[in-house]
Amino acid sequence: MREDISFRPKLGYLVITLIGTVFICVMMVFLIVTMMDSNDMSGGELNGMISYIIIMYVACVCILIFPVVLFFVRIRYILKENVLVIRRYFKTVEIYYTSIKSVEEVVDRSIFLFNFTPSVASSKQVWITYTDINGREGMVNISPAKKQEFLSALRSRIKDPEVFAPGGEKKASVKYQSWKALSPTKKSLYIAYVVGLIIIFVVIRVIR
């Protein structure tokens, strides 16, 4: 019996979130130091303003860093003996190797930052089409950090070599593009999240 092999996701677009978090932390330190050097406020006013700024910045950092932390803690692509297990944020998908119809290397740049699904944060993906227990076609897109190692391990578990599409990376099919395949509710949530981040940065700019 072969051992389970676990793969982490590629960070991809979430690098921007990490950069934003570092930027906010640096700006917080700069702003507090500037205020402490100012003689325009009394001690009580200064302490109150600093406390307010710290609370606001902590909230901003939490909003930015939470998806990244959850992404790395929760998401995994696990190759077991007979099944591929894909752990997403709040859901786990199990796909039996015998039900897999195709495996493709895909480049999906449909809408950059909005090209984000519960298990993908990179435009370079692996798309797996399969048949679920009800006989319906399903598809998952994943982005292992070590993509070629993942594909090699997956090939060793799938008997039919024709399942793997030849020719390397291909352009994403519109049918399964990350953004276009999302439900209206999820699209609204992603838009609200991005708008919230923009508002936060605007507020920070005004306070400065």
Question: What are the pLDDT digits (tens) for 91-101?
Answer: 888 999 999 99
Q: How many CB atoms lie within 10 A of CB 24?
A: 20
Over residues 55-72, mean pLDDT: 71
pLDDT of residue 100: 94
Q: How many CB atoms lie within 10 A of CB 174?
A: 9
pLDDT of residue 137: 86
Over residues 26-47, mean pLDDT: 64
Phi, psi angles (nearest 5°) of residue 133: -65, -15
Phi, psi angles (nearest 5°) of residue 4: -70, 145
User: Do residues 9 and 77 touch, judged by C-beta distance below 8 A?
Assistant: yes
Query: Which residues lie closer than 8 Å to 64 by C-beta, 6 or more apart?
Result: 17, 20, 21, 24, 197
Q: For residue range 96-142, list pLDDT tens digits in order.
A: 999 999 998 887 766 444 444 555 666 678 889 999 888 888 888 88
